[in-house]
Chains A and B, each alone.
Chain A
Amino acid sequence: MINFLKFRWLYFLISAIVISAGLFSIVRWGFRYSIDFTGGSNFEFQMNKVVEKEKIQKVLDLNKIPVVSFKLSDKTILLRTKVLDQNKESLLKKDLEAKLKIKITVLRSETVGPILGKEAINKTLVASILAVIGILIYMSFAFKGFNFAFSAVLAMFHDLLVVVGTYSLLCHFFGAEVDTMFVTAVLTTMSFSVHDTIVIFDKIREYKELGETKNIEEASNKAVTVTMVRSLNNSMTIIFMLLALTLMGGSTIRFFIITLLIGTITGTYSSPFVATPILVWLEKRRQK
C-alpha cells in the first residue's frame, strides 16, 4: 500500500495551476466559436498551384468579402467569413480563378445562418444540463452516501474546468474552435470522469463494509493502490487510440480528439487525486 494521501497538497497545487492557466486564458482571450454557433461561412478551396497570399487578399478585398479569418497553407485557402450567400461565393470563386489564373476545387463550403447558430447554443446547453442531471441522479443511486456523490461531482467539475480552460488555450494558440463536437467531447469527458471515480469509490466502500481497514484514510489509500494499475491500464488503451488519431487522423476532427485526450487524462487523474482526497476530508469532518 502506498500512502497517496500524504501528497494531497501537491495534487491540489497541480490542479490549481492547470485550472488557473485555463481560467486566465478564458478571461484574457475567451474562445473562438465556430459557425455552428455564431453563423457565418467557412470555405476550403484547393488551388492547382501555389499563389502568394497578398494576391488572394487583393481579390478578397476587391469583392468586398466580409472576411473573419483567412489562412493559406500550401495550395489550400481556408477562409472564414460572415454569412456569404451562394451567388457571392460563386462570384468569388470565378473571380479568383480569372484573376489568379488558377483552377479551384471546393473541398468544403459551409454556411450557417445566424438564427440556427443561436438555436444550436440553446439546444447544446439543454443537452449539457440534462446530461449533468442524468449523471447526478445516477450517482445518488450508485453511492448511497452524500459525501461520495458530492466528491465525485466536484471531481467531475474539476475535469470540466480543465478541459474547457485548456480548450481556450487551444483556441488562442492553435486556432481551435468551439463547435458542437467540442460540447460532445466535454460531455463524454464528464461521463468518463464519473466512470473512473466509481471504480475507486466502489473499492473504498467495499473496504469500509468489510471492516478490514482502521479508518477512511487507510481504506482510501488501499483502494487507490489497488485500482491504480487498472486505472492506468484502462486509460492507456484509450490514450493509445486517441493518440493514434491525433497524430495520424484527419484534420477535421483533430481538436475533437485532442479534447477527448485531455479529458481522458484529467478524468484518470482526478479520480484518485481529486475525488478521493475530497472524500476523505469530508468523511473525517463528519466523524469529528
Chain B
Amino acid sequence: MKTFKTIVIAFILLGLIWVDLPENIKIKYNIPTQIDFKVFGLNVKKDFTTKLGLDLKGGSSLIFEADTSKVKKEDLNDSINSARDVIERRINFFGVTEPQIQTVKTGNKYRLSVDLPGISNYEEAIKLIGQTAQLKFKELGNENIATNTPIFLQLTKDTGLSGIHILKSTVEFNSQDGKPEVGLRFNKKGTELFAAITKRNIGKPVGIFLDNMPLTTPTVQTEILDGSAVITGNFTTEEAKKLTIAINSGALPLPIKLVEQKNIGPTLGEIEVRKSVYAGTIGLIAVLLFMIIYYGRLGFIASLALLIYGLISLFIFKAIPLVLTLPGVAGFILSIGMAVDSNILIFERIKEEQRKGKAFDIAVRLGFGRAIDAIKDANVTTLTVAFILFNPLNWEFLPQFGMVRGFALTLAIGVGTSLFTGVVITKRLINFFYKND
C-alpha cells in the first residue's frame, strides 16, 4: 500500500514537471503541450501553454466609451451589442489572435474594453476600430463585369440608402412555415428611397454592406412601398440574429470615443520577462540556501516542499489558464517568500517542543498541530485582501483593472497552494526522510 502511494505521488510529480516545462525547450523528443482524448464520450482537450499578458507580450489595450445620448433606452442593449460586434469584425479583419472584447458598465456609462495582444501597428488599429459603422445599400453597377464574378463584387453602385434610414432590424418568424427571417423597418425618407430601389431592381440583387463588407445580397421580389421589408433565406435563428445585430450597428450607430489606451511594444515586455525570471531564480536560490543553512535537514525538506509548491502553482497557472502579467509574476514571486512561512512556523514550534524535552517524533506531531491555527489565522487576511483586489464578481464600485487583478490572483493561488504544500507535503516528506532514523 505504501509503495503504491509513493508510485502515485511520483507519477503526479512527473506529470507536473511535464506540464511545467518551458514550451520552447529543445529536447530530442517532441513533448506535446496539449491533452486531447476521450473519456466516457467526454472530450478532454486542454492546452497547457503559458499565456502572457499584454504588458509582457506587447500589444494594445484600448477602452472606448460609447456615446449613448442619442440612443433610445429600449434600443440600448441592441446598439451596444452591435457596436461590440462591429469591433470584433474589424479586429478579425486585422488578424489579431485571441483578442478580448468586453462591455463594461460603470454607472450609466457603457465602455468597450478591447485587448489586442501582439499588435504593433496600434495607430492604424485605433483608427479602424474607432470609426462609426457605415451601413450602405448597393445595387448592380453599369460596368460590364464578367457574370461569373461573385454577386457582391458586381454590386458597385451606391443607392443613397444607408444606416440612418433604418429604424431597426429585428428577427422575425415567417407566419406560414415558422422559419426565421430578418425584418427591416425604414423611416420616412428611407421608405421613399427603398420603394424606388425595389421598383427598379425587381428580380435583381441589392446588397447590404457594412464597412464596405457585404452582409447579405438578397434578390428583390416585389416593389416595397410601406417601408418594412423582410429578408428571407435559409437562416437558422442564430444566423438571423447575427445579421440583425450587424444591420443594427449601422442603424443604431453608436459613436465611440477612445478614453484610454495602453500600448506596449514587444521588446519592452521581453526584457521585463527575462529580468523577472532571472530575479525570481536568484531570490529562490537565496531562500533555499537560507532555509538549508538555518534549519539543516528540516530546511532541506522545506526546500523540497517549496520546489513542489512552485511546480503546483505553475501547473495551476497553465491549467486555468491564467494570463500572466508583470504584477502577476511579482505576486507569484512574493508568494514564494510567503510560502516558506508556514514551514518556518511549524519548524519553530517543533524546536520549541524539543527544547521542552520531547522526543523528535512527538515534537513533530505537536508542532504541526499547534502551528496550524496560527497559519490558518495569518493567511485569512491575505486572502481577504486578495479577494477584494481581484473583484471576482466584477462589482462596478471596485477596481476592475487588469494589472491589480493579475497580482491578486497569483497571490491568492500562491497562498492557497502554500497552505497545501507547507502543511501536507512537508509532513509527508518528514515522515519519508525520518522514518529510517
Which A residues are closer than 8 A to B by beta carbons? 44, 46, 85-86, 89-90, 105-113, 115-116, 119-120, 122-124, 126-127, 130-131, 134-135, 138, 142, 180-181, 183-184, 187-188, 190-192, 194-196, 198-199, 202, 226-227, 229-230, 233-234, 236-245, 247-253, 256-257, 260
Interface of chain B: mostly helix, strand, loop or mixed: helix
A131 to B379, CA, bound (A): 14
6 A–B pairs (Cβ distance < 8 Å), ordered by A: A85-B258, A108-B263, A190-B385, A227-B348, A252-B268, A260-B330
B432 contacts A by Cβ under 8 Å:
no
Q: Which B358-394 residues sit within 8 Å CB-CB of chain A?
A: 373-374, 377-382, 384-385, 387-389, 391
A252 to B279, CA, bound (A): 14
B271 contacts A by Cβ under 8 Å:
yes
**B106: chain A residues within 8 A (beta carbon):** 119
B218 contacts A by Cβ under 8 Å:
no
A202 to B261, CA, bound (A): 48
**A112: chain B residues within 8 A (beta carbon):** 259-260
Residue of A nearest to B274 (CB): A250
Report, nearest first, the 3 A-B pairs whose CB atoms are least far apart: A244-B283, A238-B337, A250-B272
Residue of B nearest to A250 (CB): B272
A127 and B388 in contact (CB under 8 A), knowing A109-B122, A116-B63?
A: yes
Contacting residue for A108 out of B260, B264, B374, B403, CB 8 A: B264
Among the interface residues B55, B272, B348, B387, which one has the most CB atoms of the partner chain A within 10 A?
A: B348
A123→B279 contact, CB < 8 A? no
A11 to B327, CA, bound (A): 33
A202→B374 contact, CB < 8 A? yes
Contacting residue for A249 out of B279, B379, B380, B398, CB 8 A: B279
Contacting residue for B326 out of A113, A119, A252, CB 8 A: A252
The A-B contact count (CB < 8 A) is 214
A127 and B389 in contact (CB under 8 A), knowing A180-B404, A192-B382, A250-B272?
A: yes
A230 to B330, CA, bound (A): 23
B52 contacts A by Cβ under 8 Å:
no
A107 to B263, CA, bound (A): 8
A111→B271 contact, CB < 8 A? no
Given A46-B267, A107-B264, 6 new contacts (CB under 8 A) = A123-B399, A187-B385, A192-B382, A229-B348, A234-B338, A257-B330
Contacting residue for A86 out of B63, B127, B262, B398, CB 8 A: B127
B340→A115 contact, CB < 8 A? no
B385→A134 contact, CB < 8 A? yes
Classify chain B: how many residues form its interface, as a range. 35 or more
Residues 106-128 of chain B, each 1 if its beta carbon lies under 8 Å from chain A, else 0: 10000000000000001100110
A44→B283 contact, CB < 8 A? no
A85 to B258, CA, bound (A): 9
A86→B388 contact, CB < 8 A? no
B276→A198 contact, CB < 8 A? no
B105 contacts A by Cβ under 8 Å:
no
A126→B398 contact, CB < 8 A? yes
B9 contacts A by Cβ under 8 Å:
no
Contacting residue for B381 out of A109, A191, A226, A240, CB 8 A: A191
A282 to B71, CA, bound (A): 62
Looking at B78-86, B141-149, B173-181, B285-293, the stretch in contact with chain A turns out to be B285-293
**A234: chain B residues within 8 A (beta carbon):** 338, 340-341, 344-345
A188 and B337 in contact (CB under 8 A), knowing A86-B127, A181-B327, A233-B344?
A: no
A110 and B398 in contact (CB under 8 A), knowing A134-B385, A138-B384, A194-B381?
A: no
Residue of B nearest to A106 (CB): B265
**A108: chain B residues within 8 A (beta carbon):** 262-265, 268
Smallest distance from the beta carbon of A39 to chain B beta carbons, Å? 9
B407 contacts A by Cβ under 8 Å:
yes
B382→A195 contact, CB < 8 A? yes
A90 and B123 in contact (CB under 8 A), knowing A124-B399, A253-B327?
A: yes
Smallest distance from the beta carbon of B414 to chain A beta carbons, Å? 11
Smallest distance from the beta carbon of A269 to chain B beta carbons, Å? 17
